[in-house]
Amino acid sequence: MTAVSSPSHRISAFFHRKPQLRLGLLLTAPMLWLGLAYLGALAALFITAFWSTDVFTGKVVTDWSFDNFVTLFSDSVYRTITFRTVGIALLVTVIDAVIAFPMAFAMAKLASPKAQRVLVIMVMTPLWASYLVKAYAWRTLLSGNGVLNWLLDPLGLSAPGYGVTATVITLSYLWLPYMILPIYAGLERLPVSLVDASGDLGAKSFRTFRSVILPLTFPAIVAGSIFTFSLSLGDYIAVKIVGGTSQMLGNVVYDNIGAANNLPFAATVATVPVVIMLVYLAAVRRTGALDNL
Partner 1 sequence: MKNRKTLLAGLCGVSLLLAACGTSGSDSKAGSAPGAQGFTPPKLNALTQLGQPEGQLNVLAWPGYAENGQNDAKVNWVTPFEQQTGCKVNVKPFGTSDEAVTLMKTGQYDVVSASGDASLRLVASGDVEPVNTALVPNYNDIYPFLKNKSWNSVNNVAYGIPHGWGANVLAYRTDKVQPEPTSWSPMFDEKSQFKGKVIAYDSPIYIADAALYLMAHQPDLGIKNPYALDDKQFKAATDLLKKQRPLVEEYWSDYLKETQSLKSGDGVIGTAWQVTVNLAKSEGAPVAATVPSEGATGWSDTWMVSAKSQHKTCAYKWMDYITSPKVNAQVAEYFGEAPANSKACAEFKDKSLCDTYHANDAAYAAKIQYWTTPIPQCLDGRTDVKCKDYGDWTRAWTEIKG
Closer of 75 and 153 to partner 1 (Cβ): 75
State the minimum distance, in angstroms, from the CB of residue 261 to partner 1. 5
Closer of 243 and 273 to partner 1 (Cβ): 243
Residue 53's beta-bridge partner residues? 60
The residue ranges that bind partner 1 (CB under 8 A) are 53, 55-59, 71, 75, 77, 80-81, 139, 143-146, 161-162, 241, 243-247, 252, 255-262
Closer of 179 and 253 to partner 1 (Cβ): 253
State the minimum distance, in angstroms, from the CB of residue 47 to partner 1. 20
Closer of 5 and 80 to partner 1 (Cβ): 80
Closer of 71 and 287 to partner 1 (Cβ): 71
State the minimum distance, in angstroms, from the CB of residue 185 to partner 1. 39
State the minimum distance, in angstroms, from the CB of residue 72 to partner 1. 11
Closer of 127 and 260 to partner 1 (Cβ): 260
State the minimum distance, in angstroms, from the CB of residue 107 to partner 1. 37
Number of Cβ atoms within 10 Å of the Cβ of 162: 21
- Phi and psi torsions of 227, nearest 5°: -65, -55
- Phi and psi torsions of 52, nearest 5°: -145, 175
State the minimum distance, in angstroms, from the CB of residue 249 to partner 1. 11
State the minimum distance, in angstroms, from the CB of residue 270 to partner 1. 14
Closer of 104 and 252 to partner 1 (Cβ): 252
Confirm if 21 and 15 have CB atoms less than 8 A apart. yes
